């Protein structure tokens, strides 16, 4: 076989690129890959594994007021029990991931309640951040945050 002199290897693609991540995990038809990722990240392989998800096509959350902030989610899916999961991938450290994650989480949470419904109807929302930088600075590889009320 003759070696091609003009052959250039394709540069390695970053799996955290928004486009690539979306193509692998965020499109309709990618449910099996997304389920595998979610079971691994959430540690559900042994106990109550996720068996099905509905990948949401509409991931654009409009701002509520003229000067407000809108957001475009990387991957948004819904579990069988109604729990919503937002997965965000980020390559560059813009030093705002904690607030950005909380903002995205709160928008998905607040948009899950329609007018006239009781607050008990709010969906559980899980936010997963997959980043290519040290976040949180003082945290470990896997960090779990919970909102808690005090009495």
Beta-sheet pairing, 75-79 with 53-55: antiparallel
- pTM higher than the cut 0.85: no
Give the pLDDT confidence of 104-147 residue by residue, as tens digits: 998 899 888 888 888 888 889 999 999 988 887 766 666 666 66
Strand partners of residue 71: 61
Distance CA 48, CA 15 (A): 28
């Amino acid at each position: 076989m003759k070696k091609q002199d003009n052959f250039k290897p394709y540069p390695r693609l970053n799996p955290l690129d928004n486009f690539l991540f979306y193509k692998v995990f965020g499109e309709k038809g990618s449910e099996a890959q997304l389920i595998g990722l979610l079971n691994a990240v959430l540690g559900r392989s042994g106990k109550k594994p996720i068996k099905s998800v509905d990948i949401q096509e509409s991931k654009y959350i409009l701002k509520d007021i003229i000067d407000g902030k809108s957001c475009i989610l990387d991957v948004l899916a819904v579990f069988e029990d109604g729990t919503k999961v937002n997965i965000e991938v980020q390559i560059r450290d813009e030093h705002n991931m904690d607030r950005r994650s909380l903002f995205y989480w709160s928008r998905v949470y607040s948009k899950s309640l329609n007018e006239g419904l009781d607050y008990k109807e709010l969906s559980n929302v899980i936010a997963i951040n997959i980043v290519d930088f040290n976040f949180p600075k003082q945290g470990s590889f896997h960090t779990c945050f919970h909102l808690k009320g005090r009495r």
